[in-house]
């Protein structure tokens, strides 16, 4: 099969090093590398997903009974005598 492939810089550098060391053509080195990578990926087990549970916590009574009345909230927060 013929295909066009764009390689990351680090992969291209690694392939060039292997080509120089083995004195083999690009096609052979790429095929060997892909076979090794595919075999490694096939052997790996898929990642296990961890189950998380959130424990509810009682925070107590709400301090402000009604958020619709801004004047009442300010009076409670700042005190009645605040200017």
Tokens 């009574």 identify what position?
Answer: 61
CA-to-CA distance for 80 and 71, rounded, in angstroms?
10
The reply to whether 31 falls in a domain is yes
* Mean pLDDT of all residues in 74-79: 82
Is residue 37 in some structural domain?
Answer: yes
The structural domain count of the chain equals 1
Q: Domain for residue 36, yes or no? A: yes
CB of 29 within 8 A of CB of 17? no
Q: Is the per-residue pLDDT at 80 higher than 90?
A: no
Domain of 32 in residue numbering reads as: 9-43
Of 24-28, 36-40, 67-71, 76-80, least confident by mean pLDDT is 76-80
Q: Is 59 a member of any domain?
A: no
Report the pLDDT value the prediction gives residue 14, as an integer from 0 to 100: 94
Interatomic CA distance for residues 14 and 36, integer angstroms: 14
What would the pLDDT profile of 31-70 be if each residue is shown by its tens digit?
Answer: 999 999 999 888 877 777 888 899 999 988 877 777 888 8
pLDDT at 79 over 90: no
Q: Which residue has the tokens 């090794």?
A: 36
Q: Residue 57 contacts by C-beta under 8 Å, 6 or more apart in sequence?
A: none
Query: pTM of this prediction?
Result: 0.50
């Amino acid at each position: 099969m013929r295909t066009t492939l764009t390689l990351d810089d680090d992969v291209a550098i690694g392939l060039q090093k292997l080509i120089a060391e083995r004195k083999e053509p690009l096609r052979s080195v790429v095929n060997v590398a892909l076979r090794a990578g595919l075999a490694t990926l096939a052997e790996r087990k898929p990642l296990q997903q961890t189950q998380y549970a959130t424990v509810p916590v009682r925070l107590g009574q709400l301090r402000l009974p009604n958020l619709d009345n801004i004047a009442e909230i300010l009076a409670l927060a700042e005190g009645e005598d605040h200017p």
